[in-house]
Amino acid sequence: MSQRGCEDDTVTVAPIDLLHEGAPKVIGVYLIDSEDGPALVDCGPASTIPALEAGLAGRGLALGDVRHLVLSHVHLDHAGAAGSLVRRHPGLTVHVSAVGAPHLVDPSRLERSARRLYGERFDPLWGELVPVPEANVRVVSDRVLGWEAFATPGHASHHVSYLDAEGTLFAGDAAGVRIEPDRYILPAAPPPDIDLELWSRTLDEIERRRPARLALTHFGYARDPEEHLPRLREQLARWAERVRSGMTQEEFVAAVRREIESFDEADRPYYERAGPIDQSYLGLKRYWDKRAAAADATRAGAS
């Protein structure tokens, strides 16, 4: 597999920075020369299409030259532009999980949920959400464009990751947020379907494949996966316990901000844009509330 925009000429592909809300190092997408032509791994939201087109131009391509869009999951910061891109480029093939595919074809439920969460900020943050024609959608199996593809739920039920022949794992959000070259890892855990047990199994599956590096949408490369993944486990467990033990949202946000600043104070704004801390609190709180409700229902059924 040949590579475009390489940091070196054999392995890594520099992400295209989408400059979300004008900020660098928040959302990055990867341009790859696949076995069937140029492909993008994730595309960002519709609000960043101008930056995407500029990034493609910097690699000598126009949008119409891209043959495939390979999505990690359908959250708007990863896939929100998919329908708009297909509308501009009707030949674009969009690869997505079976769970995520219906939300691309009919994004109305996804949009309603996001508008409740973001309110008036929805439009400037994400832009227009356009359906992807079903004819353009391909459901991911175990191989996509010569890469291994496998389900990586936990952050989202519809999450998929991709491993190329050189050992690069395109991890979406399954491996957390880490602003290259920082060491801090933020396990973005927004509602509605955070699942800690599934996320732990996902990390098992990633570790079993022994990737050489993790390509993160937020942002860049983790070149030490053998250290990164255990630290992500520890951080996720620490965050989950804080919420389970009754820490308030304000206390949780303050604690995480102190953590980030202990690594690199200057990059805290990028982390907070890429993985809003208050949303992780809400996602983990929802997880624990669902667990408690299920336990109550089990006890009631047994009585």
Each residue's pLDDT tens digit, 72-114: 999 999 999 999 999 999 999 999 999 999 999 999 999 998 9
DSSP 132: P
> For residue 211, which amino acid is it?
P
Q: What is the mean pLDDT of the chain?
A: 93
pTM: 0.92
> How much is the pLDDT for 12?
65
Query: For residue range 21-31, what is the model confidence (pLDDT) as tens digits?
Result: 999 999 999 99
Q: What is the pLDDT of residues 134-171, one digit of tens each?
A: 999 999 999 999 999 999 999 999 999 999 999 999 99
pLDDT band at 201 (very low <50, low <70, confident <90, very high): very high
State which of 4-8, 204-208, 271-275 shows the largest mean pLDDT. Answer: 204-208
Would you state the pLDDT for residue 219?
96
Domains of the chain by start residue, with CATH:
16-291 (3.60.15.10)
Give the Cα-Cα-Cα angle 294, 296, 299 (nearest 5 degrees). 110
Instruction: Compute the 3-state secondary structure of the chain and give helix, strand, coil in percent, each to the nearest 5.
Output: 45, 15, 35
Q: Which residues contact 197 (CB under 8 A, 6 or more apart)?
A: none
What ranges in the chain are assigned the alpha helix state H?
Answer: 49-58, 76-79, 82-88, 101-105, 108-118, 122-126, 196-209, 225-244, 249-264, 268-274, 277-302
Tell me the angle at which helices 225-244 and 249-264 cross, rounded to the nearest 10 degrees. 150
Q: Give me the pLDDT at residue 8, please.
A: 44
Question: What is the CB-side half-sphere exposure of residue 252 using CA atoms within 13 A?
Answer: 24
pLDDT in tens, 51-61: 999 999 999 99
Find the mean pLDDT for residues 218-245: 97
The number of angstroms, rounded, from the C-alpha of 190 to the middle of its chain's C-alpha atoms is: 11
